[in-house]
Amino acid sequence: MIKILVTGSGGQLGLCLKSKSKEQKTLDFVFLDSKAFDITNSSQAEAVFSNYNFDYCINCAAYTTVDNAEVDHKKAYEINVIGPKNLAEASNKFGVTLIHISTDFVFNGNTNRPYKETDLTDPLGVYGQTKLDGEGEIQAILDSYYIIRTSWLYSEFKNNFVKTMLKLAQEKDELNVVNDQKGTPTNANDLADAIINIVISRKKGFGLYHFSNLGETTWYGFAKAIFEISKTKIKVNPVTSVAFVTTAKRPKYSVLDKTKISSVFNINIPNWKVSLDNHIKAIQS
C-alpha cells in the first residue's frame, strides 16, 4: 500500500483527489486541510511526517488570490514559499517524494507559443514570484520531487470561473469578459488523475512538469463555451483587460506545453472543451 499525505485538502484539487481516492485500492490517503496542518509551521510539518510513514506528499496548499497577494505579501510568501520549504525539508528527512502544484503565472506571457518547462521564468506579480520561489526551495532541498505547473483550474468544488459564470448568468442578461488573455482551462479532476497516474507508475522521472488540458482559448472563449454547453442564454461581450482594473498584472499568454508529462507518464490529456463538456453535463445531471 502506497501511503500519501495530501496537504491543503480543502481546496479544489485536494477535494478532487479525495473524491477519486475511494476508487484507489493500492493507495492509502491522509487528507489534511489548513486547519489540521499549517504547512508554514516547520515543527508541525516534522510532527506530521514523523507520525506517519508516508511515501508521497501531494502539496495542494497555496495562496492563490492573485490580487490580494499584491497587498498581503507576507501571507503569500509564508504559504507559497515557506510552506513548500518546510514540506521539502520534512520530505528529505523522512524519505518522502514531494509532489508540488505550481502555476502558469511564473511566466510573463510575452510569447505566442506554449511554454516548455525549460523556458525562462519572469513572474509579473507577487503571486507568480512566490510560487516560483517555492519551486526554488524544493529544488534546492530535494532530488525526489515533482513540480507540476497548471492553469485556470475549475471543478465541482469551491469557487471557480465556471461556477461564477453560471451564477452571474442567473443574475444578469449581459456579461463583459476579457478576450486578450490566452490560456487553457483545466479540469482539476484531470489534474488529479494525472497525479495519481504519476504515483501508480512508480517511475522515477523526477523534476518539473506542465499539465493543463489541451488547446487554448481566452476567458471570453471559455465563458462562451460554458454557456453553449450548459444551454444558458446570455449575451457575452469580448472586452480588453483595460476594461477591468486589477491590482495584479496577468500574463497575456500562458498556455503550457504538456509534451513532457504526456510522454514520460503516458498520460492521455483531454482537450479543454471535451473536459468542460463532461464537467457541465455531470453537474447538470
Residue of 127, 145, 154, 220 with catalytic role? 127
Known catalytic membership, residue 127: yes
Cell digits of residue 150: 497548471
Q: Kindly list the catalytic residues.
A: 127
